[in-house]
Amino acid sequence: MQPSPLVIANWKMNGNRQLVQQLAKVLRESQADLTEVAVVVCPPAVLLPAWQQEVFYDAIHLGAQDLNEHASGAHTGEHSLALLHEAGADYALIGHSERRQFYGDSGQRVQAKVDAVLSYQEHLFKLVLCVGEHEQERDAGRTIEVVQQQLEEALQNVSAAQIAQVVVAYEPVWAIGTGKTATPAQAQEVHAFIRQWLVQRFGAAAQQIPLLYGGSVKADNAATLFAEADIDGGLIGGASLEAQAFLEICRAAQAQRG
Ligand SMILES: O=C[C@H](O)COP(=O)(O)O
């Protein structure tokens, strides 16, 4: 059995209360078409409470774009899991390439955040581990090596029992926000590797881990990407800021399994 389709909106540092209402309205009106797909919205943390008021059915979840691995204390500007939980989140993105590249999230820090989620009130949060290569790494034929290293480092303390809380998002850095989508074949090749690595490391239960593709997914390319055997949905940036485009992407995920 394949994992259930999952589509995640990552608003990054965009959006406002008006967009919360717009997207919530579109999703609410279309819920009958989205019975098979789980939808997670990761707005800026300050908009989580606004989303919390709009969450209307079980298939919609809220997620944090990042978290601090400490439980509390002197960490100005940061958000603990407890704060994020109180604001309605039960998913957390970890290791997004923008955090790795611009905000100092080393492999070690990513690992600490993974461990924090998995040791926080058992099974409460799901984590979405983002991995992916830079363009020069792809050009040098190092894509699989880079992705493997990111997986090994981030998941080194994770047990087979905890793997059900994990989602992996493959996001080639060169495809993020550039309009240069990986071809379905390029994405599938890396997803197949990730699936095989997870199964080898965690056993058959890893077959059920959703593997998402992210990087310039749009309404017009989502269906061909999601048609690939190991692509179970998407992590959507720019197109998640347009309610209709995001809905079409959710519909494309649903259509693969509907
Ligand atoms: O988290 C989302 C990804 O970084 C993809 O962003 P994008 O859809 O704007 O390329």
Q: What is the pLDDT of residues 43-66, one digit of tens each?
A: 999 999 999 988 765 668 999 999
Question: Is residue 216 within 8 Å of 177, Cβ to Cβ?
Answer: yes
Tell how far the Cα of 236 is from the centroid of ligand 1, in angstroms: 5
For residues 85 and 234, give the distance between their C-alpha atoms in angstroms, rounded to a whole number: 23
The CATH number of the domain holding residue 20 is 3.20.20.70
In the residue annotation, 96 being an active-site residue is answered as yes
Tell how far the Cα of 41 is from the centroid of ligand 1, in angstroms: 13
Q: What is the pLDDT of residues 171-230, one digit of tens each?
A: 999 999 898 889 999 999 999 999 999 999 999 999 999 999 999 999 999 999 999 999
In a domain, 1, yes or no: no
Q: Is 177 annotated as a binding residue?
A: yes
**Closest atom, ligand 1, to C-alpha of 169:** 1
Q: Is 203 annotated as a binding residue?
A: no
Identify the H or E element spanning 111: helix 107-119
Share of the chain above pLDDT 90, in %: 88
In a domain, 123, yes or no: yes
In a domain, 105, yes or no: yes
Name the active-site residue from 96, 133, 191, 228. Answer: 96
Q: What is the pLDDT of residues 81-122, one digit of tens each?
A: 999 999 999 999 999 999 999 999 999 999 999 999 999 987
- What is the residue range of 62's domain? 6-257
**Closest atom, ligand 1, to C-alpha of 240:** 8
pTM for the full model? 0.97
Query: What does the block give as tokens for 127?
Result: 């984590």
What is the SS3 assignment for 171? coil
For residues 85 and 87, give the distance between their C-alpha atoms in angstroms, rounded to a whole number: 5
Residues touching ligand 1 (Cβ under 6 Å) are 10, 96, 171, 176-177, 214-217, 235-239
How many domains does the chain fold into?
A: 1
Within a 10 A sphere around the Cβ of 173, how many other Cβ atoms? 21
Q: Is 214 annotated as a binding residue?
A: no
Does ipTM top 0.95? yes
Question: Is residue 5 within 8 Å of 37, Cβ to Cβ?
Answer: yes
Name the active-site residue from 54, 133, 171, 228. Answer: 171
In the residue annotation, 171 being an active-site residue is answered as yes
Tell how far the Cα of 238 is from the centroid of ligand 1, in angstroms: 6
For residues 174 and 195, give the distance between their C-alpha atoms in angstroms, rounded to a whole number: 22
In a domain, 94, yes or no: yes
Tell how far the Cα of 74 is from the centroid of ligand 1, in angstroms: 31
